Amino acid sequence: MQNLERMRELIQTIKEADEAYYKYDAPIMADLDYDRLYDELAALERETGTILSSSPTQRVSGEVLESLTAVRHSRPMLSADKCKSVADIHKYLGGHEAVLSWKLDGLTLVLRYENGKLVQAITRGDGLQGEDVTHTVRIMKNVPLVIPCKEPLEVRGEGVISWKEFHALNGTLDEPYAHPRNLAAGSVRKLNAEEVRERGLSFMAFDLISDNLGGSTKWETLRFLAQMGFTTVGYSILAAGASEEAVRQAMDFYQPKEYAYPTDGLIFEFNDLAYGRSLGATGHHENRMTAFKWPDTRYETKFRRLEVATTRTGMISLTAAFDDVVIDGTTVNHAYLHNLDNFTRLALGPGDTISVYKANMIIPQIAENKTKSGGCPLPDVCPCCGSTLVVRQSSGGTRQLYCENEACPARLVRKFVHFCSKTRMEIKGLDEQTLTTFVQHGWVKNYGDLYELERHKEEILKTPGFGEKSFARLQNAVDERRTCTLNQFIAALGIPEVGRHAGRILNRKFGGSWDAFERAILDQFDFTQLEDFGQVMNDNIYCWYSDEEEAKLWRPALNHITFLKEETTMPEAQNNPFAGKTVVATGKLENYTRDGIQMKLLSLGARPASSVSKKTDYLIVGENAGSKLTKAQTLGVTTLTEQQFLQMLADAGIEA
């Protein structure tokens, strides 16, 4: 009776974890704990001989989002059974030849091809039905849209994001993900494919569903997939009759820390496909393969305190700080807690004994709190602005603390990011992460503060990732921007609709002088007189200028900046072959950036344009030039290589 009760409880908990994991891509527990609950349930089922109908051991867990179209699989997509030790694997193989491969930790996908064309891509879903994700799979860079095989073909594989891409991308997202797997799953299941184009998703093929196409062995199948143009998962062959030691050696070859993609173990599959099929399947897994999961070693330490910070979206991030532990050679003392539910579950209090591990050997996590004193209070006000915090259910289905103050400095980060970005003020090294830290600590409150970082040098040097050298580099980058052009500065201000192009026009009109620009505003100048300026832009300038809160942000910067006037005063503006001409540049140039060539053309008194038309006088052609070159050739526009352009400048006595 007691057992049955516990089984029901386990099924319920696993169900909740499944929903968070598969539906919202936001796990509420560590894989380790999930697997433990699962094992406990399986053991009870064996012991009691009873299996409840809703048991996750009898079917594949998964969810189909209502927003995506459900598609039935041509064959059930099952999970893999697990072995816990090398001895278990050795026993499972029973002396048969096998293929060993990385168990990729992403989102399983099935791609269907007909007449050599990709026609559909589906997620695993609940194993019987998946979600149609053709739109996002199409834009993965390594998915072949056409293959040299006319017969219907179905290939299975994993949609993954590399650790590198994950680290670069996660910080820029409104709601960061706990793991690349969740980011991959969340990205593939987006409705709008354009949003995920830059996310570096890859498809790694590991299985061919159409019989008889790839040969009679797993090895031949993987080779066939590679010939079709797929990137296959990394694999090796384990010879027939391999000893336990030989199995161990083959496994040692796979070191997850050295692998670019997230992986949580290895997959062993019988090389002889007919033999594998003869072993059959359960409702949960196929017997032709088994998985080995790397054990996460746990380390005991003491929890010290909770660290809170307001993120760009107003969400309060919770991080546990604990005494140093060395895991796999690196010192670890912080673990991100993900959400309020996780925090509540752990019931942390200062001095508590906790066990920590690196999930997939990479991300530090708290596995459990052994003493659960619960003495650590949650903040009730924003650490950044002091507003009362509220609890919100995030789109991930979990609870988070939020600061709802629109004027909270955390939201300033966005403006700072814009101001410092490459195509605006271009202050190198002031990326989003750094700016977030600076804003959260109150070291920068307005753009002028960026020029006075020296005042906080000591504190900055204490933040992780900063040393004397990187601080000096940052200061150099800031110093370089004590001079800038008026157009750069205007574009950096973030006046709605008034961007880089408008900045250039204003720069020309006001001779590069801020004072002249400001005087014009005070004199109620009608900006619609300017080329390409509409009423909205005119109104936005006045609206922005009269916003006192905005002015507190930008005005202090004027004390630190000298405006360069080179562009309009340069003598070369008249005496050169490009003065007054409409010039387009295309492709990658060797000596100029995209902005650089525009600036150069302006300084020559030319009109830089972005598209080729009959009015274009010259097209400067760089590497990999595309349709613009074709169009120029059709219209008979003079094209110049970068070298010819430089030569013409030299002939006119002008420096490049």
Ligand X SMILES: NC(=O)c1ccc[n+]([C@@H]2O[C@H](COP(=O)([O-])OP(=O)(O)OC[C@H]3O[C@@H](n4cnc5c(N)ncnc54)[C@H](O)[C@@H]3O)[C@@H](O)[C@H]2O)c1
From the list 403-411, 516-524, 557-565, 600-608, the region that binds Zn ion by CB under 5 A is 403-411
Is residue 400 a contact point for Zn ion (CB under 5 A)? no
Are the beta carbons of 419 and 439 closer than 8 angstroms? no
* Tokens 């997202």, located at residue: 173
Per CB under 6 A, contacts with ligand X among 190-209 are: 206-207
Are the beta carbons of 419 and 494 closer than 8 angstroms? yes
From the list 131-139, 308-316, 497-505, 510-518, the region that binds Zn ion by CB under 5 A is 308-316
Say whether 174 counts as a known binding-site residue.
no
Q: What is the DSSP letter of 22?
A: I
CA angle 265, 270, 273 (to 5 degrees): 130
Is residue 34 a contact point for ligand X (CB under 6 A)? yes
From the list 229-237, 242-250, 342-350, 406-414, the region that binds Zn ion by CB under 5 A is 406-414
Strand pairing report for 235-238 and 98-104? antiparallel
Is residue 267 a contact point for ligand X (CB under 6 A)? yes
Structure tokens at 5: 């009760």
Are the beta carbons of 395 and 175 closer than 8 angstroms? yes
Say whether 403 counts as a known binding-site residue.
yes
Site string for ligand X, 288-317 (x = CB under 6 A): ---x--------------------------
Are the beta carbons of 140 and 201 closer than 8 angstroms? yes
On the 0-12 / 13-18 / 19+ scale of CB atoms within 10 A, 113 is buried
Selection from Zn ion, ligand X, none that 403 binds (CB < 5 to 8 A by kind) is: Zn ion
d(CA 353, CA 323): 10
Say whether 435 counts as a known binding-site residue.
no
Is residue 79 a contact point for ligand X (CB under 6 A)? yes
Say whether 324 counts as a known binding-site residue.
no
Per CB under 6 A, contacts with ligand X among 140-159 are: 158
Is residue 18 a contact point for ligand X (CB under 6 A)? yes
Selection from ligand X, Zn ion, none that 29 binds (CB < 5 to 8 A by kind) is: ligand X
Are the beta carbons of 192 and 411 closer than 8 angstroms? no
Is residue 100 a contact point for Zn ion (CB under 5 A)? no
Residue 405 or 576: which CB sits closer to Zn ion?
Answer: 405
Residue of the chain from 7, 10, 11, 29 that contacts ligand X (CB under 6 A): 29
DSSP collapsed to 3 states, 138-199: CCCCCCCCECCCCCCEEEEEEEECCHHHHHHHHCCCCCCCCCHHHHHHHHHCCCCHHHHHHH
Least gap, CB of 360 to ligand X (angstroms): 10
Structure tokens at 401: 């603390």
Is residue 405 a contact point for Zn ion (CB under 5 A)? yes
Least gap, CB of 464 to Zn ion (angstroms): 23
* Tokens 């939201």, located at residue: 411
Task: Say which of 91, 103, 565, 614 is annotated catalytic.
Answer: 103
DSSP of 363-407:
EEEEEEESS-----PPPSB-TTT-PBEEEEE-TTSSEEEEE--TT
Is residue 408 a contact point for Zn ion (CB under 5 A)? yes
d(CA 362, CA 257): 8
**Does the annotation mark 103 as catalytic?**
yes
Residue 21 or 419: which CB sits closer to ligand X?
Answer: 21
d(CA 531, CA 402): 44
Number of residues assigned to the chain: 656
Least gap, CB of 455 to Zn ion (angstroms): 23
Residue 125 or 200: which CB sits closer to ligand X?
Answer: 125
Helix (H, G, I), strand (E, B) or coil at 107: strand
- Tell me which residue of 191, 215, 188, 218 sits closest to 206, measured CA to CA: 218
Selection from Zn ion, ligand X, none that 104 binds (CB < 5 to 8 A by kind) is: ligand X
Residue 101 or 488: which CB sits closer to ligand X?
Answer: 101
Residue numbers at the binding site for ligand X (CB under 6 A): 17-18, 21, 27-31, 34-35, 61, 79-80, 101-104, 108, 158, 206-207, 233, 267, 291
The residues annotated as belonging to the active site are 103
In the annotated binding site for Zn(2+), the residues are 382, 385, 403, 408
Residue numbers at the binding site for Zn ion (CB under 5 A): 310, 382, 384-385, 387, 403, 405, 408
In the annotated binding site, the residues are 31-35, 79-80, 124, 158, 293, 382, 385, 403, 408
In the annotated binding site for NAD(+), the residues are 31-35, 79-80, 124, 158, 293
